[in-house]
């Protein structure tokens, strides 16, 4: 395997979780009549996929310890928020939208930090990670800042974030591009 590529296990997870997140986001857009609580639970399941992907980054060997820690902490925060939204649909649609919005906000911050801090990847890939992170942050903040919009509109905005996040995950897994490969000339020499 090319040392600049993700390991196969991680690529498979990225593709599976990315496709899962995209499908759930598309379901929310395609079936708005399901009821807002059901739609937000679907979004929370998509956030769950994104959370698993972030946490699994901890298993990559070439990733610097600081980025592994960042991924583990933000992934666990997203995971807890997603589980809360799935496990407690009785919180009401508005409460679920806030929980999922915070989860996607944390996810977006994670993607932006990874894209910014790890510059050893191809520019197009780094920009896609930064772009998805920025989109997630901006739209999540908009959802939190504009609670007067209808809950269906808020769920639709979050579905768009989830679709783009899923596409970025799946593309990363399909191409095998490693955001975590050391910059040329910086890898420690093997003794």
Q: Domain-by-domain residue ranges, the chain?
A: 8-175
Q: Which residues contact 95 (CB under 8 A, 6 or more apart)?
A: none
CA distance 156 to 140: 11
- In terms of C-beta density within 10 A (0-12 exposed, 13-18 middle, 19 or more buried), how is residue 145 classed? exposed
pTM reported for the whole predicted model: 0.77
* CA 13 to chain CA centroid, nearest Å: 13
Q: Which residues contact 37 (CB under 8 A, 6 or more apart)?
A: 89, 92, 93, 96
Most confident listed range (24-33, 50-59, 124-133, 176-185):
24-33
CA distance 37 to 59: 34
Query: Looking at residue 86, what DSSP letter applies?
Result: H
pLDDT of 37: 79
- Residue carrying the six token digits 């939204």: 85
pLDDT of 190: 37
CA distance 123 to 119: 8
Per-residue pLDDT tens digits for 80-107: 999 998 888 888 888 888 898 999 999 9
pLDDT band at 77 (very low <50, low <70, confident <90, very high): very high
pLDDT of 19: 93
Does pLDDT of 3 surpass 70? no
* CA 161 to chain CA centroid, nearest Å: 9
């Amino acid at each position: 395997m090319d040392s600049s590529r993700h390991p196969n296990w991680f690529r498979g997870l990225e593709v599976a979780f990315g496709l899962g997140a995209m499908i759930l986001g598309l379901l929310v857009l395609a079936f708005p009549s399901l009821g807002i609580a059901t739609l937000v639970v679907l979004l929370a399941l998509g956030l769950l996929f994104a959370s698993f992907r972030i946490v699994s980054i901890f298993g990559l060997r070439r990733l610097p310890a600081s980025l592994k820690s960042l991924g583990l902490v933000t992934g666990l925060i997203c995971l807890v928020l997603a589980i809360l939204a799935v496990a407690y649909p009785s919180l009401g649609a508005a409460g679920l939208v806030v929980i999922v919005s915070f989860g996607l906000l944390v996810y977006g911050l994670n993607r932006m930090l990874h894209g910014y801090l790890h510059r050893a990847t191809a520019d197009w890939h780094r920009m896609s990670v930064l772009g998805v992170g920025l989109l997630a942050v901006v739209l999540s903040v908009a959802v939190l800042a504009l609670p007067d919009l209808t809950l269906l509109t808020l769920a639709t905005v979050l579905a768009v974030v989830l679709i783009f996040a899923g596409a970025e995950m799946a593309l990363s897994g399909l191409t095998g591009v490693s955001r975590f490969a050391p910059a040329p000339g910086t890898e420690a020499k093997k003794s």
